[in-house]
Amino acid sequence: MTTKPRSAQVIALPGLAPDRLPAEPAGPSEADEAAARESAERAQRRRVLWIRESKVIATSYAINGVCLALFALTGTVHWSAALLYAVPGWIVCAIACALISSGYSQRWSDPSMSAAQSIAGMVICGLGIAVFPVMTFLYVLILFTIFLSATYRMPRSQATLAWFIVSAVIGAATLTGSRSLQIPSHTAAEQFTAWACFTATLARCVLLSIINSGHNQLLRQRGEQMAATLAQIERLANYDELTGLLNRRSILRVLDEEIERAERDGTPLAVALLDIDHFKAVNDQHGHLTGDRTLQTFAEAVQTRQRATDRFGRHGGEEFLLILPDTDAAEAARALDRLRDGVSAADWASLAPGLSVSFSAGMAVHQAGESVEQLLSRADRGLYGAKDAGRNCHRAG
């Protein structure tokens, strides 16, 4: 049977009026503090990752600077090409690391500073092409690696801007009528250096692909974990944890939907409130663990005998709600008799020696215009009638 919650009682302390009781101390709860710590730890992990990525970019500047220095050794370009490329890049990376580490970058839409560093790298390459056109092919290779790494996390607008910058730089190099895109290969040293640059660029492209693949796999795993968590949350929100049946909120929602369908289609609808007889005595005599197992076994016994179209849920405590669509009073009575036989045939002695379980039920057939509350109220009156009649039976309300 459903029980009414007891009203809260205010107890006055000696010397204090009830409306002047001492207030509970305000302050964050342990759950709030734990959530704040977890959020701070996540933010710190992100900052560490972003700083690591900036250091990788700085290493890439060093590798490209070495390539330019090798061409300077062959006499293809002046030494300043390596310095004018690497030093500004390192400065950009250092600024990015400082902003990320201080948390200042959190104020912007791109707290990782990846877009800013990518655009800076593109600008440096563009200036390199303008000042050292003989090295255009190398700067174009660098632009491709920047584009490959940058657009992975960029939003569409920033990726479009990056594409425009790269296209403009390459277009300026190819449409000037010069031969700047040619690969320096007049000497064996230049040929070897060009091969080394291509090899290093290809290696970085492969590495970026591996990293991006790892990120995609991590995102998939997180997505699967989130889906599993949401499914678990949905199950906890809709199903009774002990019996696996629909919980009170869910079964009442189903009943509301079935009432709408019955009124729309003009079909009969019956409901029954089932209450396990003398369940308190089961708990008192055999313990609450046996009581829990009794509820589980009862739920299984009913489910094995109910029809495929019936819906069954836990209404509260030892009380259950059975919804019987397309069912009139006579059919509902036969269904309850069938369920009572199934419950009686269950192996209750395996839970506790001498244990036997029965149930009483109150039944009601939906009437036109009747609400959920009104229908259940009539079923509840029928349940009281079944208990007054000696239990282990059903009555119509």
Q: What is the pLDDT of residues 308-336, one digit of tens each?
A: 999 999 999 999 999 999 999 999 999 99
Lowest mean pLDDT among 23-27, 90-94, 270-274: 23-27
Beta strand ranges found along the chain (DSSP E): 269-276, 311-316, 319-325, 359-365, 394-396
Residue 195: the pLDDT is 93
Higher pLDDT, 88 or 164: 88
Domains of the chain: 39-229 (no CATH), 248-396 (3.30.70.270)
Q: How confident is the model at residue 235 (pLDDT cuts 50, 70, 90)?
A: confident
Query: Do the beta carbons of residue 153 and residue 50 sit within 8 Å?
Result: no
Q: pLDDT tens, 211-230?
A: 778 777 888 888 898 888 88
Per-residue confidence (pLDDT) for residue 28, from 0 to 100: 56
pLDDT at 365 over 80: yes
Mean pLDDT score of the chain: 87
Q: What is the pLDDT of residues 241-299, one digit of tens each?
A: 999 999 999 999 999 999 999 999 999 999 999 999 999 999 999 999 999 999 999 99
pLDDT at position 153, please?
67
DSSP state, residue 22: P
pLDDT level of residue 338 (50, 70, 90 thresholds): very high
Does residue 14 have a pLDDT over 50?
no
Quick one: pLDDT band at residue 353, thresholds 50, 70, 90?
very high
CA torsion, ordered 203, 206, 211, 215, to nearest 10 deg:
170
Counting runs of H as helices and runs of E as strands, what totals does the chain give?
11, 5
Sheet of 269-276: strand order equals 311-316, 319-325, 269-276, 359-365, 394-396
**pLDDT category of residue 37 using cuts at 50, 70 and 90:** confident
Cα gap 91→74, rounded to integer Å: 27
What pTM value is reported for the model? 0.54
Residue 2 scores a pLDDT above 60: no
CA distance linking residue 328 with residue 319, whole number of Å: 22
The radius of gyration computed from the CA coordinates of the chain, to the nearest angstrom, equals: 37
Task: Please give the biggest Cα pair distance in the chain.
Answer: 109
| pLDDT exceeds 90 at position 376 | yes
Tokens representing 384? Answer: 């009281």
Question: Which pLDDT score is estimated for 29?
Answer: 66
Residue 206 burial class via C-beta count within 10 angstroms: exposed 0-12, middle 13-18, buried 19 and up: exposed
Which tens digits make up the pLDDT trace of 189-216? Answer: 999 999 999 998 888 888 878 877 877 7
Residue 97 has pLDDT above 70, yes or no: yes
Task: Give residue 3's pLDDT.
Answer: 44
Region of poorest pLDDT, from 58-72, 76-90, 218-232, 251-265: 218-232
What span, in angstroms and rounded, lies between the C-alpha atoms of 305 and 286? 27
